[in-house]
Amino acid sequence: MPRSLSNLMVNVASIGALVLLWYVVTAAHLVPRVFLPSPVAVWQSLVAGFTHGSLLEQTMNTVVAMLAGWFACSLLGVVVGSIIGVWPLARQSLAPVLEIFRPMPPAAVIPVAIAIFGLSREMSLFVVIFGAIWPALLATVHGFSSIEPRLREVGRALDMSPLAFIWKIALPNATPDIIAGMRLSMVISLVLVVITDMITGQLGLGSLVVLASRTFDMAGLFAGLCLLSVIGFISNAALQFVERRLLSYQQ
């Protein structure tokens, strides 16, 4: 405990030093204020946005869209990954096809999605699912393929149905891989939600950043960037915590 506490203090101190450097640079007018607002202005913009602006709503929209997309693609990824993982025919025929789709930049699907769904929330959800499903899906397949062969034999000896095998043996074994994949999916979800927000102009942090830049509201722009960074940090830390909790029995 004291070790993690001192780690935390070092982190806080180093981030504090970074913010202090930022303040000194802006206070000494080393960089034009048009490009880099002072941290104080950003803080004021954050406070103003949360107390009587729409910042809270925008943040919530982004977070909800991110979580919805992440949840859907994790569920879909684990289900499809399980099917591919236990069914040899599906693995032989689908795995190479998935390898073709995987290097496709997720954002490149956006024009196609706009053409099909228009500039709507469904479009955003579709893009997030399509782009962020790969880590969860491939991690599940990988987790299934690295199950101890003896466990497979146990399943066969107990006459388990494929469903029982997935639920009782394969999934618990693949959990570490799956959670690592889901963490990556979460990162990609956030990125894709921001990108679709920017393109469609729906109420969210992505469109906030674009609007702020168009009106030269640099404090607002940096406030949006800070919020995005905090969202990414918290979601990642939360999943890391869950990971440690779920996997504590393995140590």
Residues contributing to the site for another protein (CB under 8 A): 7, 10-15, 18, 34-35, 89, 92-97, 100-101, 103-112, 114-116, 187, 190-191, 194-195, 198-199, 205-206, 209-210, 212-214, 216, 218, 221-222, 224-225, 228-229, 231-233, 235-236
- Provide the minimum distance between the beta carbon of 169 and another protein in the complex, in angstroms, as a whole number: 26
* Pair 64, 232: CB distance under 8 Å: no
Closest to another protein by CB, 169 or 218:
218
Query: SS3 breakdown of the chain: % helix, strand, coil, rounded to 5?
Result: 85, 0, 15
Q: Minimum distance between the CB of residue 46 and another protein, rounded to whole angstroms?
A: 15
Minimum Å gap between C-beta 216 and another protein is 7
Least distance (Å) from another protein to the CB of residue 154?
29
Residue closer to another protein by CB (options 77, 204) is 204
Rounded Cα distance, 64 and 79, in Å: 22
| DSSP state string for 109-140 | GHHHHHHHH-SSHHHHHHHHHHHHHHHHHHHH
Report in angstroms how near the CB of residue 105 gets to another protein at its nearest.
4
- Residue 32: CB minimum distance to another protein, A: 9
| Comparison of 122 and 148: residue with beta carbon closer to another protein | 122
Rounded distance between C-alpha atoms, residue 81 and residue 136, angstroms: 8
Closer residue to another protein (CB): 173 or 236: 236
- Check: CB of residue 193 under 8 Å from CB of residue 65: yes
Q: Which is nearer to another protein, 83 or 95 (CB)?
A: 95
The C-alpha atoms of residue 128 and residue 69 are separated, in whole angstroms, by 6
Which residue's CB is nearer to another protein, number 127 or number 169?
Answer: 127
* Long-range pairs, 210-217, Cβ under 8 A, ≥24: 216/34, 217/45
CA angle 153, 157, 161 (to 5 degrees): 95
Q: CB of residue 114 vs another protein: minimum separation in angstroms?
A: 6
Quick one: 174 or 212, whose CB is closer to another protein? 212
Q: Is 25 exposed, middle or buried (0-12, 13-18, 19+ CB in 10 A)?
A: middle
